[in-house]
Amino acid sequence: MALRFLPNPGILGTVGEARAARLLDERAEALARRGAPEPPRGAPVLVVAVGAETFGVPLARVAEVLPAEPPCPLPGAPPALLGLRARAGRLHAVLNLAALTGANAGDAPEGGHDVLLRPGPGGRRLALRVVRALSAAEPVPLPPERAPAGPGGAVAFHAMLPGPDPHGTATIIAVLDLDRLLRPYAAPSTAPDAHGA
């Protein structure tokens, strides 16, 4: 036989039956949530700003973040390729992330950052020019139905940064798929050599 809790009629009279039921329901929900696991976090990313857009660059692919400096321009290069930059005796091709993603960088202030990447599948050393490198974070991936409509292509998924931004709202970022984004620039050239071999 199941036992049933019967509240003291004296207490019930002062609280009210509806309020007592609501308090018991709230307490049951709080107890049920107590053992619930936290939402899964994604792989760590470097959060970067490009104009009004916020992107996540997989932290495993980031080698270094440096203050931007004028790159050495390359004649005939595509518009997204700003030029070359030297670091520790190695050349990095500097790519404009705003041009690669189609983001509106607006009137970017002087400065900015260059995000030097670890060499990818093609072995090329690349860097991304961003307006500002903000921080490293472990975002929570959004389910597809909650993700904002936006450019596909190089966006692997959308995610929410833990904690509210200074305005009290959650920050949603687009985490980039660097392999897809950089494919045209990462592959070594296949031009034949001068001897026709």
CATH of domain 45-186: 2.40.50.180
Q: Which residues 6+ apart lie within 8 Å of 170 measured at CB?
A: 160, 161, 164
pLDDT in tens, 80-89: 999 999 998 8
Three state DSSP letters for 9-67 = HHHHHHHCHHHHHHHHHHHHHHHHHHCCCCCCCCCCEEEEEECCEEEEEEHHHEEEEEE
Q: Which residues of the chain have pLDDT under 70?
A: 1-15, 33-41, 105-110, 121-122, 146-152, 164-168, 187-197
pLDDT in tens, 86-138: 998 899 999 999 988 888 765 554 679 999 999 876 678 999 999 999 999 99
Alpha helices in the chain (DSSP H): 9-15, 17-34, 97-101, 178-186
